[in-house]
Amino acid sequence: MLELRGLTVRHGSVPALDRVGVTLEGGRITCVLGENGSGKSTLVSVLSGLRRHDEGELLLDGVPVRFPSPRAARAAGIATVWQDLAVAPLLSVWRNLCLGAEPTRGAWPLRRLDVDAARETTVRALERIGVTGVDPDQPVNSLRPGLRQSLAIARAVHYGARALVLDEPTEPMTIAQHTLVGQAVLGARAQGLAVVLVTHNPRYAHLVGDRFLLLARGQVAGDLTRADVDSDDLTRLMAGGEELTALTTRLQELHPELGDR
């Protein structure tokens, strides 16, 4: 549904992404892995409408698109969950989920916010991605980071996003928080969204991912499925560029259709 073809983004004369090609299908989690500076954040910027590509194409359902703003990307159904989330921290969980689309009851001029409906919508939206036991009245800043991400994911699914892009928090998360986010991400996948998960953690990637896009110096150094690699392979690939090169060469021998990547 979302496809990158020969996508190139330059910062000055240096390509941060260099002829990247990948198809991001609905109901799949594509993990983007790579060393610092390999182009992961640039990929997120393009998908989320923060940056425009210089060459190549970004296709949505086969139609070339170019997002002039993050709002345009969101309107096209691509939701990005940022490291510091754009939710209102002092407001309640339900206010954050319903922000801008609060349910009302009664007819004008007596129309009022329907708080009960908003609470229920929020609990259901969270349940839909497998998150239970959250008090919709608690302020968002009292939620653990993993739950905050889950809330942002629930919001994206609730408002009908088709693709979900997650940039991994740089702050280390506990296992419990990773589990929560993993659960929400799997929930989004089950709802048919195309999930793009940028991560530095190959074990986590292998746990939740269907597909692994390895970037090195802005190029696709590997486009692998679970059938191609196990968790140890991914860890080794992340640890050493040399191994990555060797694997790329081997895969290109086995699959000439991969071409010069």
Q: Which helix (H) or strand (E) holds 58?
A: strand 55-60
Q: Which residue lies nearer to ligand ATP by CB, 50 or 65? A: 50
CB of 11 vs ligand ATP, minimal distance in Å: 3
Q: Which residue lies nearer to ligand ATP by CB, 146 or 218? A: 218
- The footprint of ligand ATP on this chain (CB under 6 A) covers a number of residues equal to 10
Q: What values do phi and psi take at 128, rounded to 5? A: -60, -30
Closest CA to 214 of 183, 168, 245: 245
Q: Copy the structure tokens of residue 101.
A: 């689309």
What residues contact 220, with CB distance under 8 A and at least 6 apart?
Answer: 20, 21, 22, 213, 214, 261
Q: Which residue lies nearer to ligand ATP by CB, 9 or 208? A: 9
Question: Where does residue 76 rank: exposed (0-12), middle (13-18), buried (19+ CB within 10 A)?
Answer: middle
Question: Where does residue 201 rank: exposed (0-12), middle (13-18), buried (19+ CB within 10 A)?
Answer: middle
**191 scored as a contact of ligand ATP (CB under 6 A):** no
User: Interface mask (CB under 6 A) for ligand ATP, residues 125-164, using x and -?
Assistant: ----------------------------------------
- Residue 31: beta bridge partners? 197, 212
CB of 237 vs ligand ATP, minimal distance in Å: 15
CB of 187 vs ligand ATP, minimal distance in Å: 26
CB of 13 vs ligand ATP, minimal distance in Å: 10
Q: Could you count the other beta carbons within 10 Å of the beta carbon of residue 175?
A: 10
CB of 56 vs ligand ATP, minimal distance in Å: 16
CB of 9 vs ligand ATP, minimal distance in Å: 8
Q: Which residue lies nearer to ligand ATP by CB, 125 or 214? A: 214
In the chain, the largest separation of any two C-alpha atoms, in whole Å, equals 71
Q: Using CB under 6 A, which residues numbered 2 to 61 contact ligand ATP?
A: 11, 16, 34, 36-42
Q: Which residue lies nearer to ligand ATP by CB, 73 or 140? A: 73
Strand order in the sheet with 2-11: 14-24, 2-11, 55-60, 63-65
Q: Which residue lies nearer to ligand ATP by CB, 32 or 181? A: 32
CB of 240 vs ligand ATP, minimal distance in Å: 16
Q: Which residue lies nearer to ligand ATP by CB, 13 or 132? A: 13
DSSP state of 169: P
DSSP state of 129: T
Closest CA to 183 of 235, 234, 136, 132: 132
Note the residues at the interface with ligand ATP (CB under 6 A). Answer: 11, 16, 34, 36-42
